[in-house]
Amino acid sequence: MSAFKDNLLAGKTAFVAGGTSGINLGIARRYAELGARVAVCGRNPEKAQAAAATIGHGAIGLSCDVRDYAAIRGGLEQSVAKLGQLDIVISGAAGNFVAPALGMSANGFRTVVDIDLNGTFNVFRACYDLLKRPGASLIAITAGQAVNPSMFQAHVCAAKAGINQLIRVLAMEWGPAGVRVNGISPGPIANTEGMARLAPTPEAEKAITSRIALRRYGEVGEVAESAVFLVSDSARYVTGTILDCDGGSQLGDARDRTQGQGLAG
Ligand code: NAP
Ligand code: COA
């Protein structure tokens, strides 16, 4: 169920970097349903075309790597040429694998930082002069690892922490021009590549959900609703914030410890 009316984003144009699968595709799909013109991009051109086709509503799929500034600038320019100046830009491309720091080469660490953190700088820096200003809204997709250190995730923790600070700095620098910059920090989301990598078995999933206040994984559509709120007029005085859409995951371990061991157990 959604609180947003059907034509909320009519007349708006959105570019979703990393919008060809998972959470970001869900955001792109919801924006299109609410009337926005939407472009999605990823590295794989066939996947991008297929994603655009599933979104419908005239969405376009582009191929560019966010690690390559000229490539992402080219993708943004193509989007503007086909759909018009940008009101909304999402930076959601990311990479992840599970490995201890000692099992990670310098290139492995750099690769994830390059996609997540440098990629977010590239997307936001490259889009700035293509934005409708004032009124444009940018969102970076971050994660709980930005705040809570997580073993075997050194690359993601470092990259997402950097993204959180980038969000705040850009919100300060670009606020005077009427550009809002926010983040969304999803919790574990069902049926995504991210969770397939982080919790590949039902046992691992159960161990995670037992610690979450709301006792379940989130849904792609639930993150999309947060992404609609942040770009909507209802959030017009919200900038530099990171919205946790995570069922309470970041509050800490919410297992019921009243049985057996006592409250302090
Ligand atoms: P996903 O399905 O793997 O989506 C990643 C997207 O980024 C794809 O469209 C992928 O397309 C694209 N991409 C990857 N590397 C790229 C690059 N170098 N340049 C351009 N595009 C690139 O991932 P997801 O699990 O839905 O996660 C989406 C976002 O949510 C990420 O930022 C992730 O950190 C965050 N998040 C996820 C969870 C979760 O539960 N899944 C939790 C917290 C935060 P190509 O492969 O074609 O490039
Ligand atoms: N353990 C340790 N190192 C790993 C690894 C793993 N499981 N997977 C990849 N690496 C290392 C590689 O060995 C390589 O380092 P090396 O050159 O020193 O050997 C480095 O990471 C880059 O790997 P490569 O496959 O060349 O990178 P890529 O740019 O083709 O792909 C990844 C990027 C590795 C992040 C890939 O997993 C990816 O494309 N992910 C996108 C989807 C995703 O992760 N979604 C979830 C988002 S939360």
pTM: 0.98
The two most distant CA atoms of the chain are separated, in Å, by 64
- Ligand having the closest approach to the CA of 159: 1
Give which of 23, 48, 51 is closest to 184, Cα–Cα. Answer: 23
Ligand nearest to the CA of 212: 1
State which ligand 1 atom lies nearest to the alpha carbon of 190.
Answer: 40
pLDDT profile of the chain (265 residues), mean per 10 = 94 99 98 98 98 98 99 98 98 98 98 99 99 98 98 98 99 98 98 98 97 98 98 98 98 86 55
pLDDT at 261: 59
Residues 125-175: tens digit of each pLDDT: 999 999 999 999 999 999 999 999 999 999 999 999 999 999 999 999 999
- Collect all residues with Cβ–Cβ distance below 8 Å to 107 and sequence separation of at least 6: none
Q: How far apart (Å, rounded) are the C-alpha atoms in residues 7 and 79?
A: 21
CA of 107 to the centre of ligand 2 (A): 9
Name the phi and psi angles at 130, rounded to 5: -105, 5
All structural domains of the chain: 13-244 (3.40.50.720)
C-alpha torsion angle, residues 127, 133, 134, 136 (rounded to 10): -30
CA 111 – ligand 2 centroid, Å = 7
